[in-house]
Structure 1
Amino acid sequence: MLQRHLVVAAVIIIATCPGGFAMQQADIPSVEPEDAIMAGSAEVAEISDWVRACFAGERPEGPGPRLDIELRQQDHNVLRYGQSCMETPLRIGSESFERGLGTHANSVIAVALPEGARAFSAQVGVDNNYDTAGARGTVRFIVEADGAELFRTEVLRGGDAPVPLRVNLPEGAWEMVLKVDATEDGAAYDQADWADARLEMAGGEALFLDENQLDPFLRLAGPPFSFTYGGIPSAELLGRWDRFSTSRELEDRTEHSVTWTDPETGLAVTAVAAAFKRYPAAEWVLSFENRGEADTPLIEGIQAMDLQVRTGNSKRAAVVSGLRGDVCGAESFVPFAQAMNIGEALSQTPEGGRPSNGAFPFWDLSYGDEGLAVALGWSGQWSATFDRTAPGPMRLRGGMELTRLSLRPGEGIRSPRVLVMAWRGDRIDALNRWRRLLLFHYVPRVDGLPIRLPFALQCFDRYSWTRPEWATEKGQIAAAETAASLGFDAHWLDAAWFPGGFPNGVGNWTPKPEEFPAGLKPIGDACRRLGLSFVLWYEPERVAPGSVIATEHPAFVHGGEQGGLFRLDDPEARRWLTELLSSQIEEFGIGIYRNDFNLDPLPYWRANDEPGREGMTEIRYVEGHYAMWDELLARHPGLRIDNCASGGRRIDLETIMRSMPLWRSDTSCSPGHPDWNQSQSAGLCQYLPLHTACGWTPDPYDFRSSATGGAIAQWDYMAPDFPADLARETLAEARANAPYWYGDFTPLALANTDPDHWGAYQLHRADLDAGIVLAFRRPSSSYLSLQARLRGLDPEGVYRLELIDDQREVTHQEATGADLMAGYELRIAAPGSSLLIRYARVDAE
């Protein structure tokens, strides 16, 4: 109970202080901390070796000298070193072994013999484990050298004692092949061990076959991508093509550029792959270029990711975890975890061409205490499959849903971007390592720091339909002044400033002449004077019929004068739109360019593909989207882009490299969803470090539910009884909490919207040894308390805690890190209430 874990130092009641937080105030971090969350050097080196081997074709260095072993066949599970194929210690009969190979019939293992190899010896038999139970399985062991059989055992059965063998090798032999035959009764339970397998050398030394062998979770299986070219799989082609590779050292990664060129047609496939220096992570993106003089044969089924992971034990499930994606409802970004057994596959794709519409291109795969975090970067119609239908390694594939195209001479395309990070140990630690990787190496940086989320006042959904005076120059300047007086750092004008209004006026990107006679510059100037960023909404990719763009530039629209999708796939149209946006960013003084996208583009892309060029319109559109955002960022240093698409339906690896999702779901368009906001934070924070949502009132329960490292407010500030003092306190509290959202995240309760339960999570800054806990007792919850285990603390440290309830009454406590991590009781007296805990280590001050 609470009394066992805490030493209560004092109880202080503070009526009006915005949180009463007297501990160290913090800014957002610039670099990741070096602590136990970060992977060890061996894990990082393993992925670096994997990148060099799979892309550049180099032999992985590994921990030391080793024999070259090639697995040519294994009908079930995967080959293991120093353990059985069931991932148990090697055991034959009643005898255990520390060294050897664990395989499963039927299997063929080839060993390149070094000069001076004189003999091979081993102890062989059926592995004795929980599955064979010392009674099941029948196999034969066969040894060959240079194609000639040297040795064959009788049929060996489960439970038999190990059979020793020693085989003299012919002088000058270059290859030994070890075979396990399933015998006439089939391969069931035929888990076979080559225990203590070794080569005896002419000088008398022994070389163990398992010594220093690489056994990474990411399988060494050639280039981790695939496609079909002229009807032939790339796995059959790339080995015959010319290959050229270079590498270079960057600050945070080693980058390899590898090009395979078909000497007959001139198709060049280039992979730019990187291995990170502080993370066991790899990234790559492909490009295809026709360097020949004629159209290429068809390129089909481009899978930017096609790799295998070592999930061989048929009795152990692999678990694929991820999020549903945005559906503008209670299920938005709700986590799922699907156990994958032999014979099962999971396929996902978004709806309509927006990458997080109903699906989410970030996952983690766990298998025992190992796993792989995965992300796809493609702001279009991707597909991903986690395939465990075969009894061996699990296969992961991802790329565009449809590619079937020919490239013309001189033409090139790019693929989706792939990021993977292998991990061992604790899954929550691994996901925090993943958050750090994205925060410090992917999200945009401004002034040397990860992009700062704003605190913005935005009242479009509240006032645009009911208070016409709000959407005027005078009303917007007054709104900006109110924002500054309450403590916001940004003023947000959404879709209320252009002729025709929303949605009928999209495509009219000039201010309403009556409401804004001098344009929007006076609002931007007011924001600058008040120290605010000016957030302005656009939806440049949707064009309404009758709008200026549809009427004056129909060639720039898929749909022409009838409106439709703006042609970012057309370089001329993209340049025109980029110039328009760039000039208005400059003229209006826009600090945060808000790009909405309330249209499914996939039907337009598919309808505009030429025969034999399926997928080309989508590729050119996505390339154009990136080019436009990159150009705006390059022209306007410090500009921040808010990525919105009917809420959070355009989130992927590529967009988070350029933008931030400030409106992660259109559930923010209406009040009354704090439980949904809690669930969205709990889900998204497992994979993304930065995002936020909207709170409709300054009530602590409501705003604590929506605020993250930033916050949006649709407060009724024009109401005569608006509680301005409460609003200032609520906002000050959220801004003080914000830096901790740039730290490590721990869910303390399930991420769901069940009104009978609690929501709770911890944000911890390892560099400060401090953090916050947010807990929510939902309106229908009958539970008075929640037992939470905090993470990341020093067990020997002493921490001061400030417990702040919804009335901002503050209780001070102290506890050791060991006690807080063993179990801390969060207590909330009333349903529909919240608790904020701030903590910091005090014994190291």
Structure 2
Amino acid sequence: MAVPHMEARFPNDSIMAPPAYVRQVHAWAREVFTGEAAPQGQVRLRVWRQDHSCLRFGRSCIETPLRIGAQSYAHGLGTHANSDIEVDVPPGAQRLEAAIGIDNNPDTGGSRGSVEFVVEANGEEVVRSPVLRGGAAPVPIMVRIAPDMRSLRLKVTDGGDGAAFDQADWADAAFVMADGSRRYLDADQPDLFLAVAGPPLSFVLGGVPSEELLPAWKRTTETKPTAGGKLLITRWEQPGPGMVLTVEARIFDRYPAVEWVARFENRSPTTSPVLEQVRALNVRVQSGYVREPLILHHLTGDTCSATAFQPLDTPIVPGKPFMLTPTGGRPSSMTAFPFWNLQYRDSGVITAVGWTGQWQAAFDRSPAGPGTVGIGLEQLRTVLHAGEAIRTPRILIMPWKGSRADAQIRFRRLMFDHFAPRVGGKLPLLPVALQTFDRYNARPEWATESGQLVYVRTAADLGFDTVWLDAAWFPGGFPNGVGSWRTDETRFPRGLKPVSETVHAHRMRFVLWFEPERVAPGSDIAREHPEWVSGGANGGLFRLHDPEARRWLTDLLNRRIGEYGVDVYRNDFNIDPLQYWRAEDAPDRQGMTEIRYVEGLYALWDSLRAAHPDLLIDNCASGGRRLDLEMIMRSVPLWRSDTGCSPGHPEWNQMQAMALAQYLPLFAVGLWSSDPYERRSAAAAGVSLEAPYLDPGFSSSAWADAVGELKILRSYWYGDLHVLSGIGTDADDVAAWQLDRPDLGAGVLCAFRRPESKLSGIVVAPRGIRPSARYHVEFRGDGKPIKTIMTGKEMAEGLVLRLPKAPGSMLVYYSQAPAAPRDPTDRERRKERRKL
């Protein structure tokens, strides 16, 4: 059965970045990758040195308005000793004028700081100020432009007594043109969180760092159009022939984002020198003023506990580098999650890593203020044989400025538009599925053909759109049978086709569980192909890095998907692969097994999707321990955490929903209760319900109501998420979020009073509402629904949501109403007023 689809369209509204900012990010990408000079403001600047903070435009280097002595300025450059700024002279410039001095701000206090200003042209000083001290009045300077002056160097020195408080301003700095107009040095300058400092990646080859190697390598560039953007292809070729570095970077028409992946290829006839310290991302961030915090907003990985995907805010401080690394080779396992937001004041960069292995990110901040971010494999030190190539992790960055909340929504839209998987070219509608493996697998009659046929008919009667058969169909059962990917003939004598055909006859989808990368001892693969197992006949990790083994497994899975009528291929992965990878590495090939395995995984999944265009892949790894950018591009996590393997935990579900949805566009979760508070806590783009249909006293009406409500809520998850409360699990707190579909003019507010909360209600102000519009509003709490019509202005002023029960919940649906009909006599009254 074809997977049903859902549309998600996002307008060019205030959430989206201004077009000028998008262009700045695109220009940054072109400059760092292709070497194309970025269009700057009216004057081109290059910073050759700044010992403290960062060069700022129209404000001081500590982010305050420009002020020298008692004089304030709207234009100028804010710098700090010692600094050296090169300024290109625009054609037609007659002179450079500026007011110079120590910036007057709470830090300098009107008395601290001492600097000298120097202007050089053609290597000669043309201006040198006396030592200027804090609190002194601005000093005007002027440099006449001679015909041979192509650029000027604006320098600030520390005055001979150290650089403390030496915050210096080139205020009102401008070239005066022949027609008398002024070209301010700060006008229209790019103001990005990311610095321009060569390619945003690095490596060491044969002991020599890339910043020394790449300038001598031949660079070629090519630009190709892609859907919704452009692809920038850059190659650096080592003289020789030798190593070739190719970077494919994508920019997006509507988003200030850049995505890239790099490849190294040894084109020499001999083995390469050692390649190491490969950083797929290596950038400096403009966190200038060291007293302003640089905060990393990130999540834990899936811990299968109350802390699964818990939001954390970590300050990045000088002298204390901070590392993020997952556990055991699964990219979102336990200790790290490969999506985060690094923030400095009102700017930052959201980053996603695409590597389904042991990635590592390092964050640091210098005592001068700027920070650095590096991302690569935790362990990679290898030679490449002649003709051999490897790839790096995929990197996605989205710089932002303004509201962090808006930036997170913008990133979510980016993920929907360009990274969420398509099935048949469209976004898949995630299942609302009946899934009772955890509840009923211990019952012998459940995992049989007859038991599953009852299961299917029950799903249809309750309104489910999907039937989910988990790890209960192969000989040996779970976990002892993993590696035997055929039906257990004693339980399913006719195979699984009768089950899937019945599912399809009821117009539902069929989910089937596999765990092809883990091999149990005694299973078919362990007995018949121990050479394809890291661990051999004793079981272990299937060797996806072996091309022959991978081809065999691909063929097997393709046959099973077709033979069993599978609509959703569920790929679980309950094993930490890192120990197996590293055990196979030779001393001069550290990291190579991991690279080949991860490349093999992508090849396997891509082959399955190519062979079955309507197939949806469900990505599971002991829950949500394998969530990264590469996997999100190919699959959806229908079981976001194994916290869903047992009943309860609604507060955990609330936190997971708000935290994950800021980064991942689509996911689903398990649910064990039809209770409104619990089911609304678990509502997402998809839900799997462990309905107790075989238990005495089962209420089919209650569960049918739950299914119906979850299917309604599902469509709202294909839009914007606005977090309206804190994100945590405290039992004495409240939680609230808004799901807004700007393309539909509709949405829903979800509010929760937790079991120990003393609050009997909350006030929420929905976002994305048009003040002048009218809305149909429906309040659904624990009692009878209440319907009304409100203006957007009334809604934005705050909705009072009364929650008398603890725990309790309320949903507030809203949809834009047609304009109110006009009184037909209004027109006549207006005519009469005009006559008067």
Q: TM-score when scaled to structure 2?
A: 0.95
1:784 aligns with: 760
In 2, the alpha carbon distance for the partners of 1:574 and 1:202 equals 70
Q: Distance in 1 between matches of 2:173 and 2:11?
A: 43
Residue 428 (structure 2) pairs with residue 431 (structure 1): no
Q: Could you tell me which amino acid in structure 1 is paired with residue 429 of structure 2?
A: R
Kept after mapping to 2: 8 A contact 1:30/1:449: no
Picking from 616, 623, 647, the partner of 1:647 is 623
Q: Which residue of 2 aligns with 1:822?
A: 797
SS in structure 1 opposite 2:321?
Answer: strand
- 1:43 is aligned to 21
Aligned equivalents of 2:499 and 2:755: distance in 1? 40
Residue 310 of structure 1 contacts residue 394 of structure 1 at CA under 8 Å; is this kept in 2?
yes
Whole-angstrom CA distance in 1 between matches of 2:91 and 2:416:
50
The one-letter code matched in structure 1 to 2:39 is: E
Match for 1:500: what amino acid?
A: G
Q: Tell me if 1:464 matches 2:444.
A: no
Counterpart of 1:839, as a letter, is Y
* Superposed displacement of residue 202, structure 1: 7.0
The alpha carbon displacement at 1:170 in A equals 5.7
SS at match of 2:556: helix
Taking the aligned partners of 2:253 and 2:294, their CA distance within structure 1 comes to 28
How many residues are treated as equivalent by the alignment?
Answer: 816
Q: Deviations over 1:665-711 (max 9, x none)?
A: 00111112111111111111111121111111222222111121111
Question: Counterpart of 1:35 in structure 2: which amino acid?
Answer: D
Measure the CA separation in 1 of the matches of 2:57 and 2:30. 22
| Counterparts of 2:535 and 2:562, CA distance in 1 | 30
The amino acid that maps onto 1:725 is S
Which stretch shifts more, 484-493 or 194-203? Answer: 194-203
Task: Find 1:328's aligned residue among 301, 304, 308.
Answer: 304
1:393 to 341, 345, 370: 370
Stretch moving more, 554-563 or 310-319: 310-319
Post-superposition CA distance 1:621-670 (Å, at most 9, x none): 00000000000001001100100000000001110101000100001111
- Structure 2 CA distance, aligned partners of 1:433 and 1:206? 37
Kept in 2: contact 1:776–1:832 (CA 8 A): yes
Q: 1:27 to 1:619 in 2, by over 3 A?
A: closer
Cα displacement (A) at 1:90: 1.6
C-alpha offsets along residues 265-288 of structure 1, whole Å, 9 cap, x if unaligned?
510000100110011111111011
SS at match of 1:775: strand
**TM-fit CA distance, 1:79:** 0.7
Please state how far the C-alpha of 1:183 moved relative to its aligned partner.
2.3
Q: Does 2:374 correspond to 1:376? A: no
What SS does structure 1 have at the residue aligned with 2:115?
strand
Displacement of 1:339 in angstroms is 3.2
Unaligned runs of 5+ in 1: 1-25
Residue 716 (str. 1) matches residue 710 (str. 2)? no
Give how far 1:206 is off: 4.9
Q: CA deviation at 1:772?
A: 0.9
Partner of 2:38: 60
Displacement of 1:737 in angstroms is: 1.4
**What do the CA deviations read for 1:131-178 (whole angstroms, capped 9, x no partner)?**
112111111112222222233222111000111222345652444222
CA contact (8 A) 1:746 1:791 kept: yes
> Does the 8 A contact of 1:316 with 1:341 survive in 2?
no
Q: Which residue of 2 aligns with 1:763?
A: 739
Match of 2:289 in 1: 313
Give the SS at the match of 2:456: helix
Bigger relative contact order, structure 1 or 2, given CA contacts below 8 A and separation 6+?
Answer: 1
Q: Supply the distance in 1 between the matched residues of 2:116 and 2:45 (Cα, whole angstroms).
A: 20
Aligned mates of 1:829, 1:116 — CA distance in 2: 73
Q: Which amino acid aligns with 1:31?
A: R
Q: Is the 8 A contact 2:121 2:152 kept in 1?
A: yes
What is the distance in 1 between the residues matched to 2:274 and 2:315? 37
CA distance in 1, matches of 2:590, 2:199: 24
Q: CA deviation at 1:185?
A: 2.2
| Cα RMSD (Å) | 1.8
CA contact (8 A) 2:5 2:426 kept: no
Q: Distance in 2 between matches of 1:494 and 1:404?
A: 40
Aligned counterparts of 2:755 and 2:567: Cα–Cα separation in 1? 38
- Name the amino acid aligned to 1:636: H
The answer on whether the counterparts of 1:71 and 1:109 sit within 8 Å (CA) in structure 2 is yes
Query: Which ranges of structure 2 fall in alignment gaps of 5 or more residues?
Result: 821-836
Shift of the alpha carbon at 1:345?
Answer: 3.5
Which whole-Å CA distance do the structure 1 matches of 2:383 and 2:322 have between them? 30
Question: What is the Cα deviation at residue 196 of structure 1?
Answer: 2.3
Most deviating of 592-601 and 129-138: 129-138
State the match for 2:824 in structure 1: none
Q: Which residue of 2 aligns with 1:835?
A: 810
1:541 maps onto 2:553 in alignment? no
Task: Establish whether residue 28 from structure 1 lines up as the match of residue 17 from structure 2.
Answer: no
CA drift at 1:211: 3.4
Displacement, 1:448? 4.2
Supply the AA of the counterpart residue of 2:171.
Answer: A
TM-score by length of 1: 0.94
**Amino acid in the other structure paired with 1:419:** L
Call closer, same or farther: CA 1:683–1:206 in 2, change over 3 Å: closer
User: Is the deviation greater in 341-350 or in 794-803?
Assistant: 341-350
- Separation of aligned partners in 2, 1:655 and 1:727: 32
The 1:171/1:840 distance shift into structure 2, 3 A limit, reads: closer
Question: Contact between 2:290 and 2:367, CA under 8 Å: does it hold in 1?
Answer: no
* Number of the residue aligned with 2:506: 530
CA contact (8 A) 1:27 1:739 kept: no
| Match 1:104 to one of 80, 92, 95 | 80
| C-alpha deviation, 1:123, in angstroms | 1.4
**How far is the alpha carbon of 1:335 from its aligned partner?**
0.9
**Separation in 1 of the partners of 2:566 and 2:140?**
78
Verify the 8 A CA contact 2:118 2:127 in the aligned structure 1: yes
Partner of 2:588: 612
Asked if 1 retains the 8 angstrom alpha-carbon contact of 2:567 and 2:616, the reply is: yes
Identity, in percent, stands at 50
* Residue 476 (str. 1) matches residue 452 (str. 2): yes
Is contact 1:145–1:169 with CA below 8 Å preserved after alignment? no
Shift of 1:215: 2.8
Q: Which residue of 1 aligns with 2:728?
A: 752
What residue is the counterpart of 1:623 in the other structure? 599
Residues of 2 paired with 1:314 and 1:802: CA distance? 49
Change (3 A) 1:200 1:747: closer
Are 2:383 and 1:414 aligned?
no
Aligned to 1:813: 788
Structure 2 counterpart SS, 1:607: helix
Structure 1 residues 169 and 773 mapped into 2: Cα distance closer, same or farther (>3 Å)? closer
CA shift for structure 1 position 201: 5.8
Quote the offset at 1:318 in angstroms.
Answer: 2.3
1:344–1:389 contact (8 Å) kept in structure 2: no
Q: Is the 8 A contact 1:440 1:450 kept in 2?
A: no
- Greater CA deviation, 548-557 or 368-377? 368-377
CA distance in 2, matches of 1:606, 1:150: 61
Change (3 A) 1:204 1:429: closer
> After superposition, what is the alpha-carbon deviation per residue over 1:376-432, rounded to whole angstroms, capped at 9, x for unaligned?
111111111222234243212112111111111111011111111122222222111
Deviation string 1:63-106 (CA, Å, 9 cap, x unpaired) is x5x33322111110001122211122221111122222111001
Deviations 1:551-572 (A, max 9, x none): 1101111111111110111111
Whole-Å separation in 2 of the counterparts to 1:208 and 1:428: 33
Q: Name the residue aligned to 2:315.
A: 339
Q: Counterpart of 1:48 in 2: which secondary structure?
A: helix
Corresponding residue SS for 1:165: strand
Aligned counterpart, 1:686: 662
Q: Is the 8 A contact 2:44 2:87 kept in 1?
A: yes
Helix, strand or coil at the partner of 2:631: helix
Residue in structure 2 matched with residue 160 of structure 1 by the alignment: 136
CA distance in 2, matches of 1:168, 1:836: 69
1:257 matched to which residue of 2? Answer: 233
